Amino acid sequence: MSSASRPPGPPSGTLAASPQAIAKMSRKTSPQASLQASPQASPWWHRHVHADRRPRLLARAKLLIAIRNWFAGQEFIEVEGAALQVSPGNEAHIGAFATQMQDGEGERRLYLHASPEFACKKLLSAGESQIFSLSHVFRNGERGPLHHPEFTMLEWYRVGQGLSALQADCMALLALAAEACATKTLQFRERSADPFLAPEVLSVAEAFSRYAGIDLTLSLTPEGTDRGCLARQAAEINVRVRADDSWSDLFSKILSERVEPQLGLGRVTFLCDYPASEAALAQRSPQDPRWAERFELYACGVELANAFHELTDASEQRHRFELEMEERARIYGERYPLDEDFLAALAHMPPASGIALGFDRLMMLATGASKIEDVIWTPVVRTVF
């Protein structure tokens, strides 16, 4: 769909799940509204609560069908990776859920995956070329308006294609979400974005300069990063600097406090060219190794997706994982194992680009929801009601 097109209204006789219709229904009161939750009961299943939530949930079901049809039309294959993995992923600040597997041959610790990425990349190594996955993924220690311990991730890969193809995919999927939810805008709280307008494309360095007054290039060297330089710049704009903050910690603080709230306002933003220290599983830029071939998609100040020109150097990926796990051990006192099978497969993976999009967040913005649990059919139980 072109950026100039607009979604049609809902067909006659169907439920219009627009933010306006949802807001109107949510304002209805019920004699049962004073029901208090207890440790024995989760409030989402009360009929009056479910009636308020149902328009968004029906829109969710409609969008899932539309997404699968869109990918089928692009000749993608839907794949399903096992949720139980040897490693949940090796990022310092992503916590995992662990379990013990008993299979007749003994017992071993496994983890619920934080992403289907390792499984998908093994399939690329096996010969698949265009795949997508709609997976339930799990992250421990994350719960809030934009986070949930179990959520749905849409992840897809294109062999032999670059990041620009993924950006075009993103724009098509945003338009699809607007159509499915009968809206013309994405909205989160008081912020909005038109998913049909041409996107803003902004480098991380440009964004830090524009919104934080920080010159990131001063703290980047061919050898790595200068923590002291970035700390001084952060202090000058009143971002709190702790003695044990690493360069990456400071980068994340500035990004979340000063930059992200300004992204994706009016139209969506692709934030591109991340510092190499934040490359994760992305390749470094061949033009300038201080930067990585990675982008994130923002709308209404909310991060929706994260994309890489995928790293296929298994030795370099192992090194990055080890550094991440050293950092996790320093901060949280634990580390996760490396998936040796993944690293072995990575050496055979063809050049590809891949992206992970938070489906529930997209649903939030397309229906105007204020918290992620409003668009999840059965939210995970809370520890305290």
* Token duo for residue 181: 């939810």
Identify the CA nearest to 83 among candidates 133, 12, 29: 133
Q: Residue 134 is inside which H or E element, if any?
A: strand 130-138
Cβ neighbours, 10 Å, residue 7? 19
- Structure confidence at residue 42 (pLDDT): 64
| pTM score, whole prediction | 0.88
Identify the CA nearest to 76 among candidates 171, 155, 176: 155
Give the pairing of strands 220-221 and 291-299: unpaired
Query: Cα–Cα distance between 372 and 375 in angstroms, integer?
Result: 6
Task: Please provide residue 132's backbone torsions phi and psi, each rounded to the nearest 5 degrees.
Answer: -140, 160
Q: Kindly report the length of the chain.
A: 385
**pLDDT tens digits for the chain (385 residues)?**
333 332 333 333 333 344 444 444 343 433 333 334 444 456 899 999 999 999 999 999 999 999 999 999 999 999 999 999 999 999 999 999 999 999 888 899 999 999 999 999 999 999 999 999 999 999 999 999 999 999 999 999 999 999 999 999 999 999 999 999 999 999 999 999 999 999 999 999 999 999 999 999 999 987 899 999 999 999 999 999 999 999 999 999 999 999 999 999 999 999 999 999 999 999 999 999 999 999 999 999 999 999 999 999 999 999 999 999 999 999 999 999 999 999 999 999 999 999 999 999 999 999 999 999 999 999 999 876 4
Residues of the chain by 3-state class (helix, strand, coil), percent to 5:
40, 25, 40
User: Any idea which residue has 């933010």 for tokens?
Assistant: 19
Query: Cα–Cα distance between 293 and 83 in angstroms, integer?
Result: 28
- Got the DSSP string for 211-277? HH---GGGGEETTEE-HHHHHHHHHHTT----TT--HHHHHHHHIIIIIGGGSSSEE-EEEEEEEGG
Can you list the domains of the chain with their CATH numbers?
A: 39-199+268-375 (3.30.930.10), 204-261 (no CATH)
